[in-house]
Amino acid sequence: MLNRINWKSICKTLAWAISLAGIVVLMSFVEGKKQSVKCSNVKILIPGADNFIEREEIDAILKQNQGDLIGRKLENINLDDIEDKIKANPYIANAKVYADMEGVIHIEISQREPLLRIINAANQDFYVDRNGLKMPVSANFTANVLVANGNIMESFSGKLDTLNSKVASDLYKAALFIKTDTLWDAQIEQLFVNDKKDIELIPRVGDQRIILGDADSIEVKMGNLMAFYKQAMPKLGWDAYKTINIKYTNQIVCERSKIDSLAAVVEPMKTLVKATAAKEKKVMDSIIKDEIIKEIKRDPLPVKKAAVPAKPVEKIKANTPKNIKVKHSTN
């Protein structure tokens, strides 16, 4: 009879019962300790050197919603409410609030990471973060991100919100792609939406307008542009073209520059949020240009020697890097 008793099952059940009893005792101890422990300090952690929100603002949120915390019993402090109030700030992506047995309340904050700054057609100014959410600009800190302006109708209510228009969504996708590529992150310094709703990339090196169109197939389009850079730029120079149109995935269409047309190319740059001193910009452009040239030379594409073309139409075939052909036009 005793042999039929499942001792293994009994031991397991007993172990679970002891563990559960231990947890109950521990929780009772913690709860009892919590009732007697008073808040001795508040530690706020905001990682990163560039802060949209400062400790003083968190202190103000705490005081407004909970009053003075130091000296109060932990059981009388609503940590969940503190966490919710901090998360409501548009510059904060996440917050974790907890207390230890020494009476220290810890507040760990993750800030939103801006990716793009948009100045719309109504001159409203706001950021788009890495998750594609609109967020307001801050008086505390100006993020060093791409700026987009021009014919942008996306409005902003002043609160955290999603993107509503295709143009704004395409700007976000383009900025996200550029940010993840070290070469394009250094070379592209602004996005501009023209009257045709096409996105134009304003390069740091070179006076041409790079017409992206929309953000569909952006990997292919930028791959075509890189192939063009590797083949054409070393021979023709950075200012040989007024426009480089990469909006079509099967070809690149370019227009040759005229000396007197270069001034009009940089007009969208006048609306940048913060102007850079000419001397500093020249030094920075020189450094970035050297880095771009180094990147291009790392994996040069084979270029066939071509005869001087006679037709006035310029098209650069970009189905594959090998069959890029250049025909010149000064129109």
Query: What pTM was computed for the model?
Result: 0.72
Smallest CA-to-CA distance from 38 within 101, 119, 121 is with 101
pLDDT at residue 43 in the model:
94
pLDDT at residue 1 in the model:
47
Give every residue of the chain whose pLDDT is below 50, as ranges.
1, 260-278, 301-322, 324-328
CA angle, corner 98, sides to 31 and 56, nearest 5?
135
pLDDT at residue 273 in the model:
40
Amino acid in position 246: I
pLDDT at residue 86 in the model:
94
pLDDT at residue 48 in the model:
78
DSSP 301: P
Contact 145/173 with Cβ under 8 angstroms? no
pLDDT at residue 34 in the model:
57
pLDDT at residue 208 in the model:
86
Number of H helices, E strands in the chain: 8, 14
Structural domains in the chain, sorted by start: 41-111 (3.10.20.310), 114-323 (3.40.50.11690)
Contact 116/128 with Cβ under 8 angstroms? yes
